[in-house]
């Protein structure tokens, strides 16, 4: 859709990316806090290498389940379509063509009505 910003055209993707970054950052921060607490509980110094391996394993296990991702794709898309994100908007030209096709199916003389409306509203066919 010309004239619309990249933020509007891809709003679902931007919201999904923001939620992903927020959740991944939180996962790794709280993961470090838990890892450091567990290491200190057994008298060891927490190391980044041990943390990285543990967190990569946990992260990949979470992605395998796809539970949160699926929830967002279903619930988030339904919500954004409901409020009218750009992905849910149908272009005026396409909607007009669909209405014209329906009118022609319902009424064989609809062509005259369509032409009258086009003339009245100065929206001639291109």
pLDDT in tens, 26-40: 999 999 999 999 999
Residues 114, 100 contacting (CB under 8 angstroms): yes
Full-model pTM: 0.48
Unique residue bearing structure tokens 């993961």: 31
The 10s digit of each residue's pLDDT in 62-108 is 777 777 777 778 887 777 776 765 655 666 777 788 888 888 888 87
pLDDT (0 to 100) of residue 68: 72
- For position 18, what pLDDT does the model report? 94
Q: Please tell me the chain's helix, strand, coil percentages from 3-state DSSP, rounded to the nearest 5.
A: 80, 0, 20
Distance CA 24, CA 26 (A): 5
Rounded to an integer, what is the distance from CA 92 to the centroid of its chain? 22
Tens-digit pLDDT profile for residues 104-124: 888 877 778 778 878 888 754
Q: Are 13 and 20 in contact (CB under 8 A)?
A: no
User: What is the predicted pLDDT for the residue at 38?
Assistant: 93
CB–CB of 16/72 below 8 Å? yes
């Amino acid at each position: 859709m010309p004239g619309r910003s990249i933020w509007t055209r891809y709003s679902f993707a931007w919201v999904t990316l923001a939620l992903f970054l927020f959740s991944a950052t939180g996962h790794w921060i709280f993961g470090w806090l838990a890892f450091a607490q567990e290491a200190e509980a057994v008298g060891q110094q927490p190391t980044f290498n041990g943390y990285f391996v543990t967190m990569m394993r946990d992260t990949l296990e979470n992605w395998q389940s796809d539970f949160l991702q699926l929830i967002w794709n279903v619930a988030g898309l339904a919500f954004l379509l409901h409020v009218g994100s750009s992905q849910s908007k149908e272009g005026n030209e396409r909607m007009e063509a669909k209405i014209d096709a329906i009118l022609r199916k319902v009424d064989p003389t609809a062509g005259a009505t369509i032409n009258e409306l086009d003339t009245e509203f100065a929206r001639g066919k291109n």
